Structure 1
Amino acid sequence: MLKKFFIICSGADTHILEDCSIGEQNKYAGIGATVFFTAVMAFIAASYALYTVFDNLYTSIFFGLIWGLLIFNLDRYIVSTINKTGNAIDELIQASPRIALAVIIAIVISKPLELKIFEKEINQVLLEQKNAMSLANKTQLAEQYTPTITSLQNQISSLQNDIVIKEAEVNALYDTYIAEAEGTAGTKLLGKGPVYKEKREKHDALLAELQQLKTENKEKINNIETEIASLKGDYDTQVATTQPIINNFDGLMARVNALGKLPWLPSFFIFMLFLAIETSPIFAKLLSPKGAYDFKLEDQESALKTNVLQNKNQCEALLKTDYAINDRIYSDIEKEDELYTYKRKKARELMQLQADAFYKKQKNIL
């Protein structure tokens, strides 16, 4: 049962193979088994590749099955259309387009399986890329907010600096009127005289300005700090919003690009393996000697071709004979007076009708 199934997979004519030897049947069963298992590998590869796209198991299996059947049909067609002629060069020329197609199929099949085999290494490459993208994303977002935040922080520093300068002036006036009271500076008269009172009033006025300045600047600083906090919140929101996009950067194209960053030699060996699997049915048929199946198939096709050519030649002979007979018939009746008289009568009637129609047309115009 399994042998018959693999023979069907090879695309061979089962009726012809039934009359061939066991060895001939086993040869085509082996070719069919290679075609079948290549389709199985194509199904697995396509299902994995589609799973990375759709992230749904059943959808991936469904479309992977369709792809596997497509590859199975192509391989079966490629193998079944290679005819053994006994001439190696003619067979190779005949198989060259099919070999090129087999190479394309091998590339398509091997790539998804390479992604699965090197999944851990690809994940490491993707992790490095994601980290770099996260840093670049934060840097780009920071470039949008940092200048504004820096400007606002400079404003806070400027307001705080104004307070410090005012405090220094107040402290300087305080030291001045204290020194005046102690007689260590100014008039150098001990006691709280008029000069002391004047300096004390300046100090008190400046202290009031300092208190007013602190109140006003504190309110401004609070407003600016609120604005800075809002900008930082917006920045954090932007980072949180864009990070999932970076985290999901692991689709099929990203994995293929990551695979390209790995050493090429292991991927090349895997490709060569699948290329050997894909082209093995073709080369098995090319390298195998012309067997009983090939002779019987050639005999059947030759008989059909001969029959078609015979029918074609017979039809051409019949047509040629029919032409000759018709020529003789028309040549014989060409000189008959009865036919001449009849056609002369009809021609006269036709010309009379044309003359009457022309007369009526001209009369209507006038």
Structure 2
Amino acid sequence: MLKHFFIICSGSDTDILSSCSKGEQNKYAGIGATVFFTAIMAFIAASFALYTVFNNLYSAIFFGFIWGLLIFNLDRYIVSTIKKTGNVLDELIQASPRILLAVIIAIVISKPLELKIFEKEINQVLLEQKNDLTLANKIQISKQFNPTIENLNKDISALQQEIITKEAEVNALYDTYITEAEGTAGTKLLGKGPVYKEKRDKHDALLAELQLLKTKNKTKIEASEKQITALKIGYENQIISTQPIINNFDGLMARVNALNKLPWLPSFFIFLLFIAIETSPIFAKLLSPKAAYDYKLEDEETALKTNVAQNISQREVMLKADFAINDRIYKDLENEDELYTYKRTKARELMQLQADAFYKQQKNIL
């Protein structure tokens, strides 16, 4: 049962192969088994690749099964269309397009399995790329907020410096009127005289200006700090909203690119393995000598071809003979008086009917 199934997978004629030896049947069963298991590997590879795209197991299995059937049909067609002619060069030329197609199929099948085999290494590369993207994303987002924040901080510093400058002026006036009262500077007269009062009034006026400046600048500083806080919150929110995009940076294309960053030799050997698997049925048929199945298949095909050629030739001869017979018949009928009289009578009747119809039509018009 299993052997018969693999023979069907090989694309060979089961009726012809059933009359061949067991060895011939085993050869085509082996070719069919290779075709079948290549389709199974294609199904697994496609399912994994599609799972990374859809992230849905059932969809991946369904479309992977369709892809496996497609590869099975292509491989079966490739093997079944290679005909043994006994000439190695002719067979190689005949098989070259099929070998090229098999190589393309091997590339398509091998790549998703490479992604699965080197999944841990690819995840490490993707993690590094995600970290780099996260840092780059933060830098890029900060460029939208930092200039405004820096300007606001400069404004706050300027407002604070204005208060500090004003405080220094007030402190200087304080020291002036205190030393005047102590008699250690200014007029050097001990006590609170007119000069002391003048300096004290200047200090008090400047102190009032300082209090007013502090109140005004405090309001401006608080407003700027609120803007800075809002900008920082916006910065954090934008990082949080964009981070899932970076976290999901592990699709099929990203994994293929990550695979290309790994050492090429292991991946290349896996690729060669799949080429060997995919092309093995073709080379098995090319390398095997022309055997009983090939001769019987050729005999059946050439017999049908000969029969078709004979039928076409026979129809052409029959058509030519039929034309010749018709020519002779009409030539003999040309000189018969009875046929002439009969056709003359029918022509007269037809002309009379036409004349009567014309007369009736004209009469109706008048």
**TM-score band, normalised by shorter chain:** over 0.9
Shift of 1:88: 1.0
Residue in 2 aligned with 1:274? Answer: 274
TM superposition shift of 1:336: 3.8
**Per-residue CA shift, 1:184-220, capped at 9, x if unaligned?**
2211111100110011011011111111111111111
Q: Counterpart of 2:195?
A: 195
Match of 2:50 in 1: 50
Equivalent-residue separation in structure 2 for 1:290 and 1:222 (angstroms): 95
Cα-to-partner distance string for 1:73-110 (whole Å, 9 max, x where unaligned): 11111111111111111111111111111011001000
* Cα distance change of structure 1 residues 180 and 77 upon mapping to structure 2, 3 Å threshold: same
Letter in 2 for 1:46: A
Aligned residue for 1:110? 110
CA distance in 1, matches of 2:312, 2:166: 118
- 1:353 deviation in Å? 9.0
Q: Which residue of 2 is the match for residue 185 of structure 1?
A: 185
TM-score scaled by length of structure 1: 0.93
Q: Which runs of 5+ in 1 are unaligned?
A: none
Inter-CA distance 154–349: structure 2 relative to 1 (3 Å threshold): farther
Q: Deviations over 1:155-211 (max 9, x none)?
A: 100100110010001001001101111112211111100110011011011111111
Change (3 A) 1:302 1:175: same
Are the structure 2 counterparts of residues 301 and 204 from structure 1 closer, same or farther at C-alpha, using a change threshold of 3 Å? same
> SS of the residue aligned with 2:321?
helix
In the TM superposition, residue 361 of structure 1 has moved relative to its aligned partner by 12
Please say if 1:5 is aligned against 2:1: no
Instruction: Map Cα deviations across residues 101-121 of structure 1 (whole Å, 9 max, x no partner).
Output: 101100100000011111111
Which AA in structure 1 matches 2:165?
A: I
Q: Percent identity?
A: 80
- Corresponding pairs, count: 366
**Equivalence map 1:1-366=2 (5 Å):** 1-340=1-340
Q: CA deviation at 1:309?
A: 1.5
- Cα pair distance change 1:29/1:165, threshold 3 Å: same
Equivalents in 2 of 1:196, 1:259: separation in Å?
A: 86
Aligned-partner Cα distance in 2 for 1:314–1:160: 114
- Aligned-partner Cα distance in 2 for 1:178–1:356: 151
Taking a change above 3 Å as real, the CA distance of residues 184 and 359 of structure 1, as seen in their structure-2 partners, is farther
Cα 1:319–1:166 shift into 2, 3 Å: same
Q: Deviations over 1:209-243 (max 9, x none)?
A: 11111111111111110011001100110000001
| SS class of match (1:262) | coil
Alpha-carbon deviations, 1:26-63, whole Å to 9, x = none? 11111111111111111110111011011111211111
Give the residue type in structure 1 aligned to 2:155.
Answer: Q
Deviation at 1:332, TM superposition (A): 2.1
* AA at the equivalent of 1:303: A
- Alignment partners' CA distance in 1, 2:356 and 2:137: 96
Determine the C-alpha separation between the residues in 2 that align with 1:328 and 1:240: 99
Deviations along 1:12-32, whole A, 9 cap, x unmatched? 112212221111111111111
CA distance, structure 2, for counterparts of residue 210 and residue 187 of structure 1: 27
